[in-house]
Structure 1
């Protein structure tokens, strides 16, 4: 790999890392190509970039971003996963793959500049995702008007039952 290719990789990774809200470094040492392809496809479905990169290039690329604190922890072979909109989605994809594959491991990460260890990333994976949170908020917002409408519908229904009973009484008499 020549100097120009390295500079291009650093620039691309720096642009992605600057936009990313979460960066997670993983160990992929003994994964086969098929297993790595499965992981990449799962990451792609979740809107996550997963890239195997040399440590020195990753250090240089992450240096001037929120995830610059990760640079001092790079050792051995590693890959960087970058999530943009939903940090929980990235954590869930990696944690699920970690459970399925014993050769894969999550090393550490950075959530908006704050360092996360392996356990921190796994705890993040246990949280509800952004769509789940939005649906629960929407359900809560809809509950109040729905209950209000049901309350008045029950009042009208009981009034209608009373009028029907009076009508039947008068017809019987």
Structure 2
């Protein structure tokens, strides 16, 4: 890889890292190519990106966007997206499906560095769609109860 290609890659990564709200760094030792492709496919469904990046290039790109606390050692695969909950769910689900071969090292969620325990905790939260469904259920509950009460009153009047 030439110096110009490296510079272009760093600029591209810095732009993508800056636009994302969540970055997860994982160790991928022991994963087969088929398993890596499966990870990429599941990430694409969640509008996330997956890439194996050299640590030096990744650290330069991360420093350009103000992320300096991530410790990059050994083999790393980077997964990033705008939605941290769906990203954490996808990575944790994939890690479980391959028997823990994909090890979550650390991450960066909305301005702060987080450890693997935090990422696993976020993966257990309800998704955005589930939260919207819960909120709509709470909002429509009074109207539902009112209609049910009116229906019961109608039935009671008909019986008399």
- Same fold (TM > 0.5): yes
Q: TM-score, normalised by structure 1?
A: 0.85
Structure 2 equivalent of residue 56 of structure 1: 56
Rg: which structure is higher?
Answer: 1
Structure 2 equivalent of residue 159 of structure 1: 157
CA RMSD of aligned residues (A): 1.5
Structure 2 equivalent of residue 20 of structure 1: 20
- From the superposition, tell whether residues 146 and 13 of structure 1 become closer, same or farther in structure 2 (CA, over 3 Å): same
State how far apart, in whole Å, the 1-side matches of 2:69 and 2:51 are: 15
Task: Give ranges in structure 2 of 5+ residues lacking alignment.
Answer: none
Using CA pairs below 8 Å that are at least 6 residues apart, which structure has the higher relative contact order?
2
* 1:55-114 CA-partner distances (Å, limit 9, x unpaired): 111111111336x0344x011121111111x21111111111211223211100011012
1:132 aligned onto 2:130: yes
Aligned length in residues = 159
State how far apart, in whole Å, the 1-side matches of 2:138 and 2:65 are: 37
Structure 2 equivalent of residue 7 of structure 1: 7
Q: TM-score, normalised by structure 2?
A: 0.92
Q: Is the 8 A contact 1:70 1:109 kept in 2?
A: no
Q: Is the 8 A contact 1:28 1:77 kept in 2?
A: yes
State how far apart, in whole Å, the 2-side matches of 1:111 and 1:23 are: 7
